[in-house]
Structure 1
């Protein structure tokens, strides 16, 4: 879902900064605000070329966001690292993480074809594609590892939803009171979910959908593969129902992914991620409604989260 704005949508200093990275004779001729993100302003910039054609770039700006410089430095580093790996990512054009030249910390990158798909229709086809893509990301072995993952949720910050299965939630909270299990480190996206994956979905073809890009690499980390699996699983459970959260974990293994061997270890990471969503249900569900999933009210998502946490405790607890 997009809205159209005039050139004033990009602040003057930032627009001047963008212009420095265009080819001679090029200029920004159109700006489109992209919705779906939570922390950053995203805009597609249409650039008029010297031959009369156009090309697109994407501008990512953090306005009054804590740790913006760190996030953009990490994203710029990840995009550089991922060049030529086969993982479909935007190409880095320029970055101003400290807002030395722009009004706010900003990053300019190439535009990828495709779109995010959050509908229930066709999910049984997309889930295996998501799983295979995540396995490919975890297979990367960078010469320089990104920093260790950060998990901010604690047993004391979990917000049990109104009407939730209190026994299941109490048991789940007890799970994350324990020390984190040992793990074999992997390259993590750390925010891998359907909202950060672009698909091409043909409408008049027998061919199925395919992934055209993976975006938002600001949280790139080193840690357990189960953490990425857990995060995508929770998102799928809240978007489409608890069974799809459980199904994604299965699809990841079917695609060749290697989760923790012990059920108790898998439970730790999946419960930890699920409980993390309890603190920000309203924040994460709003972009889904803006994208057309208007039925996903805060209350509806809380109910799905409760059902998913309960299902995890039943399946792995």
Structure 2
């Protein structure tokens, strides 16, 4: 059970049809950047559910106007596509009416699934879904902003207890060069198992929703593939991360033909998780992956960087 601050509750209820009211507020687990709540509503038309995203951390509050306005625009755009995204209800990106910057949207069916069992089958579905996202026809005026790198050579911090400092130096040297040329695509930019909802049993699993569109960007397909691959390596082990690019290509996706270019994008993403990937582990452990300790994640991240250099350098 949870509650809503007074101003936010008033704003939500003003956005609802006459006679509809919030009957229950339930915190949703697994979020890191936002407070996520499911709102159970009741009214003349019966019961239904909405989701409220609110930025409360100072960093995200400062950037909320750009992030939430972008997500609202993207949800409107995706409403006319076959991508299973939420429908926008309302947004208050500057907290003019709410206690914190907030976005109200429909509730998608399904759950986040991070367990090792069935991970290969889910990775296939992830690859196919990502291909469909990258194929979305987006007119020039609808294009999101150009991607932003989430790390740089100066910001990479190797694990404190690494026994292979030379490995990290080699990896950082790869991203010191200018970014390779690329053909722009519509990117989710934060596509990974924690932002995808699944429905159905293991033998009939399907993607029922893709969430968290605040970082949507225009850039190389390799970068979206790289981000999901890094997450899979951390969640399920290095081989799972290495295979994802192959799954994406097998599903019809197109990646950089040049190994050096592909390696650049893969490492640009992976190095952003250094030194220990602890940030992503917090919501993952909240969803049941208690085995993902800082030590496990550091070992997997280092092993993944080594494997990428071994395969593509």
- Tell me which interval the TM-score lies in, with the shorter structure as reference length: over 0.9
Shift of residue 279 of structure 1? 5.0
Check conservation: 2:276, 2:298, Cα contact below 8 A: no
Equivalent residue number for residue 46 of structure 1: 40
Task: Count the aligned residue pairs.
Answer: 307
Equivalent residue number for residue 168 of structure 2: 169
Shift of residue 164 of structure 1? 4.6
User: Superposition pairs for residues 78-157 of structure 1, below 5 Å?
Assistant: 78-143=74-139, 144-157=142-155
Shift of residue 124 of structure 1? 1.3
How well do the aligned residues superpose, as a CA RMSD in angstroms? 1.2
1:116-151 deviation per Cα after TM superposition (whole angstroms, max 9, x unaligned): 000000011111100000000000121221110000
Equivalent residue number for residue 177 of structure 2: 178
Equivalent residue number for residue 213 of structure 1: 209
Secondary structure of the 2:175 match is helix
Q: Give the TM-score normalised by structure 2.
A: 0.96
The 3 A distance-change label for structure 1 pair 164 and 154 is farther
Equivalent residue number for residue 200 of structure 1: 199
- In 2, Cα distance between equivalents of 1:142 and 1:96: 25
Aligned pair 1:71/2:72, yes or no?
no
1:171-226 deviation per Cα after TM superposition (whole angstroms, max 9, x unaligned): 111000011000000000000000000000327xxx42000000000001000000
- In 2, Cα distance between equivalents of 1:111 and 1:152: 29
Equivalent residue number for residue 58 of structure 1: 51
Check conservation: 2:199, 2:206, Cα contact below 8 A: yes
Check conservation: 2:114, 2:193, Cα contact below 8 A: yes
Q: Which runs of 5+ in 2 are unaligned?
A: none
Check conservation: 1:281, 1:302, Cα contact below 8 A: yes
In structure 2, which of residues 269, 282, 290 is the aligned counterpart of residue 286 of structure 1?
Answer: 282
Equivalent residue number for residue 261 of structure 2: 265
Check conservation: 1:131, 1:252, Cα contact below 8 A: yes
In structure 2, which of residues 28, 52, 57 is the aligned counterpart of residue 34 of structure 1?
Answer: 28
In structure 1, which of residues 245, 249, 255 is the aligned counterpart of residue 251 of structure 2?
Answer: 255
Q: Which runs of 5+ in 1 are unaligned?
A: none
Shift of residue 268 of structure 1? 0.3
Check conservation: 1:164, 1:303, Cα contact below 8 A: no
The 3 A distance-change label for structure 1 pair 164 and 79 is farther
The 3 A distance-change label for structure 1 pair 279 and 37 is farther
Equivalent residue number for residue 158 of structure 1: 156
- Once superposed, which parts of structure 1, at least 4 consecutive aligned residues long, lie more than 4 Å away? none
Q: Give the TM-score normalised by structure 1.
A: 0.94
In structure 2, which of residues 302, 306, 311 is the aligned counterpart of residue 310 of structure 1?
Answer: 306
